[in-house]
Structure 1
Amino acid sequence: MVNIDDFVKRLEIILDYYGLNASSFADKIGVQRSSMSHLLSGRNKPSLDFVMKILDVFPEVDLYWMLLGKGNFPKSENETLKFEPKSDIKSEDSPASSNENHSEIDLFSQLHYEEEKTPVKNYAEPKRSNISFEEDEIEKIVFFYKNGTFKAYVP
């Protein structure tokens, strides 16, 4: 099952990666801006249509990463699905066993997604400051965007 809070966090990572705000992202993938707002606020869950539109417009987004957090973003080019056949399933009476040219691979066994161990890249470069802090505890982090909006995070 898709955790909506985690999905929203990954959606925000996609927005930051492409440098888009919510309304321009909605326009780009062809959904209503209100749909995007409702998703980001956690009011609504993403539809299959919404997810497929993201994958169509942004091929670097990996389906399993976006839905489940497995895999990487952006998608690396050598990611593949690994097929592991089950060798214990074979019947003497089945029509497939009479065909000697047919492979013994079980076509209905599960596909296992092969994950790479590389972490998500950090795209923000820290800037050095001459300000010294008396405490080493962060109170608030504020991101200012070129379009005049901002996001404040309180740890």
Structure 2
Amino acid sequence: MGFHDISASVFADTIGVQRSGISHLLAGRNKPSLEFVLKVVAAFPDVDLYWLLYGEGVFSKKAKTAPPAETPIAKVVKSEVLEDPPSQAKTIDKIIIFYSDGSFKAYSEI
């Protein structure tokens, strides 16, 4: 709520739950249900689901500034064997690594 600068009552109205439910969660009397978590993620898509469920990682997807520390997922989008004439040898121009969070890193020789 502090990240988005909204009050508990505005937060409750935004995600579609009763204000007393938010009060009980903040006081520690209740734990959030799966339905509650899904409503938060639906109303605030920048909130990282993994952080919300496990308390690990970065709270906001927008706040991610460092490159992901996870292992990249290598995917072959299209693979083709091309027969090149000996006089037209091909060189690698660019390599792109796609991460599971949707980000990518491109490498090219300058």
Is residue 3 of structure 2 the alignment partner of residue 17 of structure 1? yes
Q: Which whole-Å CA distance do the structure 2 matches of 1:53 and 1:83 have between them?
A: 30
Q: Percent same amino acid among aligned pairs?
A: 52
Match of 1:51 in 2: 37
2:54 is the counterpart of 1:71:
no
What is the DSSP-based 3-state SS (H/G/I as helix, E as strand, rest coil) of the residue aligned with 1:17?
coil
Aligned twin of 1:62: 48
Measured in 2, the distance between the counterparts of 1:82 and 1:59 equals 24
The normalised TM-score by structure 2 is: 0.56
Gaps of 5+ in 1: 1-14, 85-112, 115-155
Q: Name the CA distance, whole Å, in 2 between partners of 1:45 and 1:62.
A: 18
Which string of whole-angstrom CA distances, capped at 9 and with x for unpartnered residues, describes residues 5-44 of structure 1? xxxxxxxxxx001111111100010000010000000000
2:18 is matched with which residue? Answer: 32
Query: How far apart, in 2, do the equivalents of 1:18 and 1:25 lie?
Result: 9
Q: Equivalent residues in 2 for 1:97-108 (5 A)?
A: none
After superposition, the C-alpha distances for 1:76-132 in whole angstroms (9 at most, x for unaligned) are 4786x8687xxxxxxxxxxxxxxxxxxxxxxxxxxxx88xxxxxxxxxxxxxxxxxx
Deviation at 1:73, TM superposition (A): 2.0
Aligned length: 72
> In the aligned structure 1, how far is the partner of 2:46 from the partner of 2:27?
24
Distance 1:46 1:82, change over 3 A: farther
Q: 1:69 to 1:24 in 2, by over 3 A?
A: same
Structure 2 residue runs of 5 or longer lacking an equivalent are 74-99, 102-110
SS of residue in 1 equivalent to 2:60:
coil
CA distance in 1, matches of 2:38, 2:52: 11
Give the direction of change, closer, same or farther, for the CA distance of 1:83–1:17 in structure 2 (3 Å limit).
same
C-alpha distance in structure 1 between counterparts of 2:37 and 2:71, whole Å: 23
